[in-house]
Structure 1
C-alpha cells in the first residue's frame, strides 16, 4: 500500500491474460498469478483500478508472490517464472530455465496502469527464484533471489559459479518513473560471509 493505492497479489489465479486489463475468466494457465490494484478517492471510496498480469503469464509462475508500490510504479515478483532472459526486457517467453524467477514493473499515468519493464538479473540461474521478495523506495528497486548459488560476497562480486548453494542474493536496480523503465545497470548484493544453506535456512538472506 502506498497512500491511497493498494495492490493485492494472488499467486493461484489461473487466467491466461497478459499485461493489464485482460480477460480474467480464461482459466487455462493454472497458478500463473495476478495482481489487483485498488484506489481510494474522497468521492467514490475504494474502487478497483487495474487487473494486472505478467507480460508472459504462464502456469505455475507465481506472479504476485511479492509486491512493492512507490507512487506511480508497481513492482511484482514472479519467483517461479522459468524464462531464461537476462537483464531488462529480454525474451520473457524463453522457458528454458526452471524457476529462475523475474520481476515486472508497471507504470501508472492518471488512473491507467501499463507494463514498463521485465526485469531479470544479468546471470539468471536454475531455481534462483529471483523475485521472491521485492522492495522499492523512490527510484531504487531491490529484488531477492534466495536460491542464488554463487560464492560472491559484498557488492558486485563474481556471479559465475555455483559454489555456495542457496546462499542467496539481492539485486538493486534504478527505476525512472518518467521513462517508465528500469536501468540496465544492476548491482549484486551478497552477505559478507557465506555458507551453503540447509533446508532450514534457505530464506535467510
Structure 2
C-alpha cells in the first residue's frame, strides 16, 4: 500500500513549471525495427555520447548472431538472448537507427545488452549471463565493438572476460569506460577472507586498459571491497571519470560505495569509502563526473512530514574538495512515496544530475502536481542542477519528466543516461506496437516491448 497522502498547495511550483517547460520541449519517442513483446527495450542498458546512442533490449529473442543479422522480426527461438540497437543523429539532426547488434553466438538467457558503455570510438556491451563453457554458467562477458563515427561502420573487436573464470558471477553486470580504461563489475563473486574461507557474493571489479593505438585491451587489476559482507554485490555499478573510479556495493549491512584514484603508474588505489548506516541499497547506481559523485539508494526512507516514506529512495551527492570526497547533499523528491525507487538509476554531466524513479505513481504530465497515485509504477525522471553562489551550494530540481503517454506499469526511468544537455531514458514495460522514431505511443498492443525517450535541454 502506498504512503498515505497529505494535502499540499503547490501554486508556486506550477508557476515555475511554465517557465521551465521550454528547456525540455524537444523530445523523441524511440522504438526499434523489430520491437517484440517482452523484449524490454531500455530496461537497464542505455548509453549516449553526443550524437551516438546505444539501447539495450536484454530479453530480445532472435537466434542469429553478429551485426545486422536477418530474420530478427519473427524469430523468437532464443529467449533472453538480448540485443542492442545503435542510433545516430543524421545530417538533418534527427535520430536514425543504425546497426542492429547481437552477440556473435547468441545464447538463451545471456541477457546481452544488460549493460552498455560508449567512449570515443568504442562500444562495450555486457552479457552477464553468457556461459563461457558448459561448466561456466552465468560467468559473463563483455563484447567490444569499434565504431567509426564518420563512416558509421561498426566492427566486432573481441571480448573481455575475467582472467579466472567462475560460474554464476555475472561479470559484465556493469561497465564504465573513460579514455583507455574500462571497469567491469562482477557482483556475485565470492571473496576469501583472511582465513581463506569464502564469503559468498561479495563481488569484484576488474580493470582493463586499452593498448594505445589499438583495439586490444589488457587486464590490469582486480578490486574488492575492504569490508567483506555476504551478498554485498560489490560491482553492481561502476563509473570512471579521469583518474577516479567509484564502485557500488548495494547489498548487505555494508552497502555503500568505494572510491579509487589512479596513480601515474596506472595503479588504482583505494581512497575512501562511503557506507551510511541503513539497508538503503546505497550504490545501486553510481555516476561520477569531474568533481561530483552521485550514488543512488533506492531503498532510502525519505522524510515526509513527521514520518518517512519507506523505500521511496534517495541519492547521495559527494563533492571532491581538497583531494577528499565529502558528502554534500542527499536528494529525494518533493513528494517521496513508498516504493518509488528514486535513485535506481543516475547519470551526471557537469552540474546536471538525472535520477530515475521507475515506480513513481503520479498521473501528471511533467512538472505538474505529482502528489497522487493515479498511475501506479508509470515512473518518472528528475533533473537537478547544481548552483554555487557566495559559498552556498544548492541542488535545485530543474524538471520532472514523465512518459509521452502516462501508463500504469511502464517503469519510465529504469535507465537514464546524459551527455551534456541530451538525456536518454528507458521505459522497459512500455507497450506500444510501433517502430521507428516518433510513432504513435497511444496503443498498448505489444506488451512490455519497451521504449526509449530522448529529451533535449535546449535553454538555460
Shared fold, TM over 0.5? yes
Counterpart of 1:31 in structure 2 is 311
The Cα offsets for residues 160-205 of structure 1, whole Å up to 9 and x where unpaired, read as 10000000000011125x62xxxxxxxxxxxxxxxxxxxxxxxxxx
Match of 1:89 among 350, 355, 367: 367
In structure 1, distance between residues paired with 2:302 and 2:369: 21
CA contact (8 A) 1:38 1:49 kept: yes
1:9 maps to 2:296? yes
Bigger CA radius of gyration: 2
Counterpart of 1:63 in structure 2 is 342
CA contact (8 A) 1:134 1:142 kept: yes
The Cα offsets for residues 11-44 of structure 1, whole Å up to 9 and x where unpaired, read as 11112259xxxxxxx6621100000000112x26
Q: How does 1:140-179 map to 2 (within 5 A)?
A: 140-176=422-458, 179=460
Counterpart of 1:46 in structure 2 is 325
In structure 2, distance between residues paired with 1:142 and 1:158: 19
The Cα offsets for residues 56-108 of structure 1, whole Å up to 9 and x where unpaired, read as 2111100001001000000100000011112x202211210010000001001
Counterpart of 2:106 in structure 1 is none
Counterpart of 1:102 in structure 2 is 380
Counterpart of 2:359 in structure 1 is 80
In structure 2, distance between residues paired with 1:173 and 1:38: 26
RMSD: 1.6
Distance 1:135 1:7, change over 3 A: same
In structure 1, distance between residues paired with 2:347 and 2:335: 19
* Shift in Å, 1:55: 1.9
5+ long unaligned stretches in structure 2: 1-287
In structure 1, distance between residues paired with 2:412 and 2:349: 20
4+ aligned runs moved over 4 Å, structure 1:
none
5+ long unaligned stretches in structure 1: 19-25, 180-205
In structure 1, distance between residues paired with 2:363 and 2:369: 7
In structure 1, distance between residues paired with 2:423 and 2:329: 21
In structure 2, distance between residues paired with 1:13 and 1:118: 20
